[in-house]
Amino acid sequence: MNALVATNRNFKLAAKLLGLDSKLEKSLLIPFREIKVECTIPKDDGTLASFVGFRVQHDNARGPMKGGIRYHPEVDPDEVNALAQLMTWKTAVANIPYGGAKGGIGCNPGELSVSELERLTRVFTQKIHDLIGIHTDVPAPDMGTGPQTMAWILDEYSKFHGYSPAVVTGKPIDLGGSLGRDAATGRGVLFATEALLNEHGKTISDQRFVIQGFGNVGAWAAQLISEQGGKIVAVSDITGAIKNSNGIDIPSLLKHANEHKGVKGFHGGDPIDPKSILVEDCDILIPAALGGVINRENANDIKAKFIIEAANHPTDPEADEILSKKGVVILPDIYANSGGVTVSYFEWVQNIQGFMWDEEKVNNELKNYMNRGFKDVKEMCRTHDCDLRMGAFTLGVNRVARATVLRGWGA
């Protein structure tokens, strides 16, 4: 099931639980604006190349739209729509004053030189500069983009609008980026896991973890969980997978992964088939890679008691049903991985104020937001007698619906 179908399904279930008016329900699903632009650049060899850039702006009832820009060869319009919509609900669950957006350019960044990527980013910014902005739509990095991409967007945007550091987040620290932003999603995963375990009378240090994905989110989550005494028994990434029932030495693995561009060949564990990572024996499974990895084919074999969704949309609705029958508790992505967008919000706030925080303040504020978010989700679970996913969706959809009606946009 693709991401858009699953997201729409969750939205409709939440709307039904909330008893939303059908006109309002329909208007909440329709994107505010979809933008598609041609970006033609001279390549290093003098030939011209054309790429398609796009931006889906889903909803701005609660504030400026917010979401990543990805550079990827296969940009699926349905997926982008789903991710823009997910950002609307995610920012509402986190209770930060944003709506959702998503965008990017259909290109393979690995096949472009740094100067070609810079030219492409600047042309894209020239085409959309009057459709984004500090109080309109604030982009951030995503797959295939990073702080340098944000620096180019900031510079190009500032040529038209004056120096505007708050127009993008995820910037280099030297250009107004926030301390703690790099670790934010992984740290949010830690705080979310702590909040959930606390509810069940458990702590991080008495649990065994399996982490699928060892990119930014997976690696930070692994490091922070192991620092809290959690035992990580298996890890995988695109290069391979390793297992050590006594617990993997995470600092050594991080060093190895940096040097060898992946976990493959790490001597502190036994290599296993990456496909089996999700069904390894553990207490807590953290999918931190791609969407749709937990599905009806493997859901029955999952041994974890808790699943923390660090990736976007890792669990198919069919798997959701199978797992809930087994009594597995799933902490949904729109809450569990919201640490990144929350610290992006802190970055935007610091830029607008022109006053930067130290890292301790960033992390403390993030913890407050994640703890409050969990309490709010649980409150909705009690009100509507539903699981955590529906608790989070009803919370997010309800906040957006209320803002929409209060602004006089209710159909």
Note the pLDDT tens digit of each residue in 345-402. 999 999 999 999 999 999 999 999 999 999 999 999 999 999 999 999 999 999 999 9
Residue 326 labeled ligand binder: no
Check 102, 171, 231, 243 and give the catalytic one: 102
Taking residue 204's Cβ as centre, other Cβ atoms within 10 Å add up to 20
* Residue spans in the chain of domains classed CATH 3.40.50.720: 183-333
Residue 325 labeled ligand binder: no
Note the pLDDT tens digit of each residue in 4-13. 888 889 999 9
Note the pLDDT tens digit of each residue in 83-119. 899 999 999 999 999 999 999 999 999 999 999 999 9
List the structure tokens of 338.
């919201």
For residues 52-78, average pLDDT? 92
Task: Report the candidate in 334, 338, 357, 336 with the shortest Cα–Cα distance to residue 347.
Answer: 357
pLDDT tier for residue 292 given thresholds of 50, 70 and 90: confident
102 is catalytic: yes
Q: Which helix (H) or strand (E) holds 84?
A: helix 77-93
Phi, psi (rounded to 5 degrees) for 313: 55, 50
Task: Report the candidate in 68, 131, 66 with the shortest Cα–Cα distance to residue 100.
Answer: 66
* 126 pLDDT more than 80: yes
SS3 272: strand
Q: How far apart are CA 157 and CA 160, in angstroms?
A: 6
* 323 pLDDT more than 90: yes
Q: How far apart are CA 55 and CA 83, in angstroms?
A: 11
Q: How far apart are CA 127 and CA 131, in angstroms?
A: 9
Q: Identify the pLDDT of residue 194.
A: 97
Cβ neighbors of 209 (< 8 A, separation 6 or more) are 222, 225, 230, 231, 232, 233, 282, 283, 284, 285, 286
Helix intervals (H) in 169-308: 184-199, 216-227, 250-260
Note the pLDDT tens digit of each residue in 156-205. 999 999 999 999 999 999 999 999 999 999 999 999 999 999 999 999 99
Note the pLDDT tens digit of each residue in 74-92. 877 888 888 899 999 999 9
Q: Identify the pLDDT of residue 381.
A: 96
Q: Identify the pLDDT of residue 251.
A: 95
Q: How far apart are CA 79 and CA 71, in angstroms?
A: 14
Residue 26 labeled ligand binder: no
* Residue spans in the chain of domains classed CATH 3.40.50.10860: 31-164
Task: Report the candidate in 175, 9, 27, 31 with the shortest Cα–Cα distance to residue 102.
Answer: 31
Residue 344 labeled ligand binder: yes
* 3 pLDDT more than 80: no
Q: What is the largest CA-CA distance in the chain?
A: 64
* 241 pLDDT more than 70: yes
Q: Identify the pLDDT of residue 143.
A: 85
List the structure tokens of 19.
């008893």
Note the pLDDT tens digit of each residue in 267-280. 999 999 988 999 99
Q: Identify the pLDDT of residue 1.
A: 60
Topology of domain 183-333, CATH: Rossmann fold (3.40.50)
List the structure tokens of 363.
């992390």
First to last CA, the chain: 30
Q: Identify the pLDDT of residue 411.
A: 59
Q: How far apart are CA 37 and CA 171, in angstroms?
A: 24
* 140 pLDDT more than 70: yes
* 131 pLDDT more than 90: yes
Residue type, 210: V
Beta-ladder partners of 232:
209
List the structure tokens of 44.
């290093």
For the chain, helix (H) and strand (E) counts, in that order, are 13, 12
List the structure tokens of 102.
């998503």
Evaluated on CA atoms 352, 356, 359, 363, the torsion sign reads negative
Q: Which residue in the block uniquely carries the two structure tokens 């329709």?
A: 30
pLDDT tier for residue 288 given thresholds of 50, 70 and 90: very high
Q: Identify the pLDDT of residue 76.
A: 78
Beta-ladder partners of 306:
284, 329
Evaluated on CA atoms 110, 114, 120, 125, the torsion sign reads positive
Q: Please write down the HEC assignment for all residues of 330-379.
A: EECHHHHCCHHHHHHHHHHHHHHHCCCCCHHHHHHHHHHHHHHHHHHHHH
Instruction: Please name the CATH architecture into which domain 31-164 falls.
Output: 3-Layer(aba) Sandwich (3.40)
Residue 216 labeled ligand binder: yes
Using CB atoms within 10 Å of the CB of residue 224, give its burial: 0 to 12 exposed, 13 to 18 middle, 19+ buried: buried
Q: Which has the higher per-residue pLDDT, 372 or 313? A: 372
**Residue 187: HSE in the Cβ half-sphere, 13 Å Cα cutoff:** 21
- Give Cα separations from 344 to 100, 272, 340, 362, 397 (angstroms): 13, 36, 6, 10, 21
